[in-house]
């Protein structure tokens, strides 16, 4: 794994790249589920990180993934959304938009840090830490096949589906 280390408020960031082994995770998820790297062994999956449920961009991204779920399923690829929201908030989000895929709660931020998406951000001249909208395509062996960083929501799910069609068997 290429280790590009920066210090932000005492946190070490690692930039994961294609060919890296996906870092281990286990998280509580919407609708009483638990999601872990081990439970996904033998399955290709999308792990997408988003800043916060119920915000316009995050809602659109979730709805777009939800609408494309049958296409991902035809290709035997699961979709998992990850944010630092509580499971309760994720349940409300899933219910409101009828999201059938798991929304995982990284409340303590360990998974966001391991995947290098907990970054320093600037908005209107103010600097803060937050989740960088990032998507990983991970194959059935747990290897990162594709990475999208600083995702723009419009057209993103279509691009991911295209990559899945061309990358995952």
Structure tokens at 48: 């997408």
Partnered with residue 34 across adjacent β-strands are 28
Out of 22, 35, 58, 137, which one is annotated catalytic? 58
58 classed as catalytic: yes
**Closest to 147 measured CA to CA, from 129, 160, 165:** 160
Given a contact cutoff of 8 angstroms between Cβ atoms, the answer to whether 34 and 127 are in contact is no
Partnered with residue 39 across adjacent β-strands are none
How many angstroms separate the first and last alpha carbons of the chain? Answer: 24
**Distance in angstroms (rounded) separating the CA atoms of residues 123 and 126:** 5
List, by residue number, the catalytic residues.
58
């Amino acid at each position: 794994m290429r280790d590009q280390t920066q210090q932000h408020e005492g946190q070490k960031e690692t930039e994961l790249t294609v060919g890296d082994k996906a870092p281990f995770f286990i998280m509580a998820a919407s609708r009483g589920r638990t999601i872990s790297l081990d439970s996904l062994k033998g399955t290709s999956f999308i792990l997408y990180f988003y800043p916060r449920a119920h915000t316009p961009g995050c809602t659109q991204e979730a709805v777009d993934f939800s609408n494309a779920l049958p296409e991902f399923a035809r290709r035997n690829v699961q979709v998992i959304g990850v944010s630092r929201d509580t499971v309760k908030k994720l349940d409300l989000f899933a219910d409101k938009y009828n999201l059938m895929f798991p929304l995982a709660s990284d409340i303590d931020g360990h998974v966001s840090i391991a995947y290098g998406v907990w970054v320093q951000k600037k908005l209107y001249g103010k600097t803060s830490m937050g989740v960088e909208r990032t998507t990983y395509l991970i194959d059935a062996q747990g290897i990162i096949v594709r990475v999208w960083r600083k995702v723009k929501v419009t057209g993103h799910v279509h691009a991911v589906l295209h990559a899945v069609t061309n990358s995952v068997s």
